[in-house]
């Protein structure tokens, strides 16, 4: 099984994202296109990235300097907890306000106030849980 945010894991996550119409279709409706980085708190750069165009992943893998619209960071134990159990709106708010989930790039406030973005963001955590990790 691939390691969380490794090249292989990110490709599997991208495929799982594209298989989830509640995620891709919802984001396509608002024309969501972004590069999203994922990594661990305290590291200089993210470990993995997704390139999303009109709601669907068109590129995924290990991060190698791509410009990012979103850069999400947390401790490995928190990522594991969220992958295993998902993340609801209340839990996401608590994770953000307590500093467990950090947005090094991206506007958390604007995202959480927009239901068309917040719902799919929450959904992306349950999709993460479908990807096996070592």
Full strand arrangement of the beta sheet holding 48-53? 56-62, 48-53, 34-40, 70-74, 102-105
The model's confidence at residue 1, banded by pLDDT at 50, 70 and 90, is low
pLDDT, tens only, 83-134: 888 788 888 888 888 899 999 999 888 888 888 888 998 899 889 989 987 6
Which CATH architecture does the domain made up of 7-128 adopt? 2-Layer Sandwich (3.30)
Q: How buried is 129 (Cβ within 10 angstroms: 0-12 exposed, 13-18 middle, 19+ buried)?
A: middle
Q: In percent, how much of the chain has pLDDT > 90?
A: 67
Identify whether the C-beta of residue 13 lies closer than 8 Å to the C-beta of residue 1. no
Tell whether the model's pLDDT for residue 29 goes beyond 90: yes
Joined together, the tokens standing for residue 94 give: 């608590």
Question: What is residue 65's predicted lDDT score, i.e. its pLDDT?
Answer: 96
Q: What is the pTM of this model?
A: 0.92
């Amino acid at each position: 099984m691939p390691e969380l945010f490794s090249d292989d894991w990110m490709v599997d996550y991208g495929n799982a994202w594209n298989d989830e119409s509640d995620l891709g279709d919802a984001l396509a409706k608002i024309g969501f296109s972004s590069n999203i980085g994922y990594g661990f708190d305290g590291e200089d750069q993210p470990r993995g990235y997704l390139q999303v165009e009109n709601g669907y992943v068109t590129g995924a893998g290990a991060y190698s300097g791509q410009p990012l619209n979103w850069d999400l960071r947390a401790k490995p134990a928190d990522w594991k907890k969220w992958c295993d159990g998902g993340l609801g709106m209340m839990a996401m708010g608590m994770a953000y306000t307590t500093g467990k989930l950090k947005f090094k790039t991206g506007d958390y406030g604007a995202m959480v106030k927009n239901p068309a973005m917040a719902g799919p963001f929450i959904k992306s955590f349950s999709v993460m849980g479908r990807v096996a990790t070592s």
